[in-house]
Amino acid sequence: MKALNEMLVSLQNGEIVNKETVKVYERSLEKEGNTYILMVKVDGVKKLLAAGEGSLFDDLIGEKDDAGKICALSHENRLVLNRYLSYTKPQAFGTKTATFGLGDRLGIASPGHIKTIENHQAKPILAQQSIRELTLTNRTLSDLIDAATFATIQEGYKGGYGADGDHLKEEADIQKVLELGFSMLTLDCSDYIPTGLNELDDDALKEKFSHLDKTVQTHYTTNYANKSFEVNGEIITFSNEDVYRYALEYHEALKYMVYIYQTYIEKLDRPFDFEISIDETETITSPQAHFFVANELKNQGVSVTSLAPRFCGEFQKGIDYIGDLDQFEKELSEHARIAEHFGYKLSIHSGSDKFSVFPIIAKYTKGVVHVKTAGTNWLEAIRVIADKNPDLYRRMHQFALERFDDALAYYHITPDLDSIAPLDETPDEKLAAYMDKDASRQLFHVTYGFILTEEKDGKLIFTDELYETLTEHEDAYESALEQHIGKHLDLLSL
Ligand code: ZN
């Protein structure tokens, strides 16, 4: 292509020329050794131009031109970039730096996320999808780092980002993310936390506790029963019944945490962020239970970067906090104190759109926090679709309503679907406003997997058109993200 050839000729001297048919991402211009690279978009497809000479130039795989190479944003080229430009690789941030998880279901939100967060103190965890989300969207763990790497190039962003193996339960998945160079693991211990304990009275708890191994019983009773602990000026005390309950609830989970830490995390020869999640459980994590788990981890030599309790109230996907704000403030302050005492970050899961509690979180965590969001950027994508491609929006909305019941198998949400305004009475210019309403937000939040993978005659029904629309209107998508994610960061004082 002539335009690209002319651009490569200039790029040999590190110069950018603008061509009508080519979109240039000016911030992507980079020099490594004697190689220049530049990201462009032609006919809706992003490419990397490489000119000059040297090993980066030689290693990039692409179509050769007299003046350079035109390279695809492929997995192979991502690996090459990771080797030469260290800021394109995921990195750990430790216990003192605030981090913000930005799960990106479509793999195209990271440039907007970077623009939003680069002027804030929090560092972005750009790659973060649970296995559930990967399965529902037909993506792989490796795809996540590909997308994040190219986003750092596109934005010329050198501030560092993390990659989180989110809510992993299985050892095989943990091994996989470590091999792939992820910088963070969120260990989901919910499979090891029994259900039904809430229904047991004190006698039943005691009875059940007496079936644990004798040494295990002694360990917990000696260390906790009728003992008090000081946590930054507050006293936490355990009765016998507390000990029975927490031992039954967390003993197996603690064994698993220690096992994973000793087998994998401790042996790593690079900095790594290790998060413990006990949030996807039946029971709300009381501050006392949080202390119990944290203290056991410390005594067993496990260092964690962050820990996610299950907070009181409800953190439903895509909408604001549901619950008693005073109670939340009281417990959050205690959780934050415990995290500070043990020297890790408090982690807030399903953190998207929880605007009413962000100021409380900011007040008590004082910037030592990890907040996970996932999928709220997908809703911003839907907002752009509603605005720019009403016809596609209408088809997706109708389909989402049809598949909503199936999606409930994966998510706990309680929207009132009857409150959603009928589609046939809503004019095109009002479609985007669906993304301002809780019920329609949740409708789309949970049906993404069905929407993105639905096929007819071997063809994806919505996905290709959805990507086309978002690619064509990438500036609109970026501004939507800057506004929406920016509001999160502002209210969290991050
Ligand atoms: Zn979680």
| Dist. CA 120–CA 138, nearest whole Å | 32
Distance 347 CA to ligand 1 centre (A): 9
Q: Which entry of 249, 273, 275, 334 is annotated as an active-site residue?
A: 275
Distance 235 CA to ligand 1 centre (A): 28
Amino acid at 299: N
Distance 315 CA to ligand 1 centre (A): 10
Contact at 8 Å (CB) between 53 and 35?
Answer: yes
Instruction: Give the orientation angle of helix 358-365 with respect to helix 474-491, to 10 degrees.
Output: 60
Secondary structure, 3-state, 86-130: HHHCECCCCCCCCEEEEECCCCCCHHHHHHHHCCCCCEEEEEEEE
Helix (H) or strand (E) holding 469: helix 463-472
Contact at 8 Å (CB) between 77 and 59?
Answer: no
pLDDT of amino acid 136 = 83
Task: Identify which of 107, 99, 146 has the alpha carbon closest to the alpha carbon of residue 124.
Answer: 99
Distance 354 CA to ligand 1 centre (A): 14
Distance 125 CA to ligand 1 centre (A): 15
| Dist. CA 434–CA 309, nearest whole Å | 32
Distance 277 CA to ligand 1 centre (A): 6
Residue with the two structure tokens 């030592």: 368
For the question of residue 472 being annotated catalytic, the response is no
Per-residue confidence in pLDDT tens, the chain, 494 aa: 799 999 999 999 999 999 999 999 999 999 999 999 999 999 999 999 999 999 999 999 999 999 999 999 999 999 999 999 999 999 999 999 999 999 999 999 999 999 999 999 999 999 999 888 898 888 999 999 999 999 999 999 999 999 999 999 999 999 999 999 999 999 999 999 999 998 999 999 999 999 999 999 999 999 999 999 999 999 999 999 999 999 999 999 999 999 999 999 999 999 999 999 999 888 999 999 999 999 999 999 999 999 999 999 999 989 999 999 999 999 999 999 999 999 999 999 999 999 999 999 999 999 999 999 988 999 999 999 999 999 999 999 999 999 999 998 888 888 899 999 999 999 999 999 999 999 999 999 999 999 999 999 999 999 999 999 999 999 999 999 999 999 999 999 99
Domain residue spans in the chain? 2-76, 376-486
For the question of residue 275 being annotated catalytic, the response is yes
Contact at 8 Å (CB) between 272 and 183?
Answer: yes
The bridge status of strand 234-238 relative to strand 227-231 is antiparallel
Q: Which entry of 30, 104, 166, 478 is annotated as an active-site residue?
A: 166
Distance 112 CA to ligand 1 centre (A): 24
| Dist. CA 178–CA 194, nearest whole Å | 28
Task: Identify which of 68, 79, 71, 64 has the alpha carbon closest to the alpha carbon of residue 42.
Answer: 71
**What residues are paired with 236 via a beta bridge?**
229
pLDDT of amino acid 377 = 95
pLDDT of amino acid 375 = 86
The model carries a pTM of 0.95
pLDDT of amino acid 409 = 85
- Which residues make up the environment of ion ligand 1, defined by Cβ < 5 Å? 277, 279, 349
Distance 369 CA to ligand 1 centre (A): 14
Structure tokens at 447: 């049906």
pLDDT of amino acid 487 = 97
